[in-house]
């Protein structure tokens, strides 16, 4: 949903939409998240009666060549 919404907002710039989608997918799906992500804030929540932690804030660190 977030990527589709960004595509609509960034539709005037296809390269921007692709770059945003690439960053989003790396942040959410990368098996190497622990190498570039630092969780800075979590909250307790309950899902189907089970307590869980949810990440609500994090920092990402990218190498310059990836950012470029």
The predicted-structure confidence for 18-59, as pLDDT tens digits, reads as follows 888 888 888 888 999 899 999 999 999 999 999 999 999 999
Show Cβ contacts of residue 40 under 8 Å, excluding neighbours closer than 6 positions: 57, 58, 59
Q: Quick one: pLDDT at residue 39?
A: 94
pLDDT-based confidence at 12, cuts 50/70/90?
confident
pLDDT band at residue 11, thresholds of 50, 70 and 90?
confident
CA distance 61 to 67: 10
pLDDT (0 to 100) of residue 1: 53
pTM of the model as a whole: 0.61
């Amino acid at each position: 949903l977030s990527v589709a919404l960004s595509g609509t907002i960034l539709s005037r710039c296809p390269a921007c939409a692709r770059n945003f989608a690439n960053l989003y997918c790396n942040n959410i799906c990368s098996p190497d998240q622990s190498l570039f992500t630092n969780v800075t804030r979590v909250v307790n929540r309950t899902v189907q009666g089970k307590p869980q932690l949810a990440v609500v804030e994090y920092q990402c660190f990218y190498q310059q060549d990836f950012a470029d």
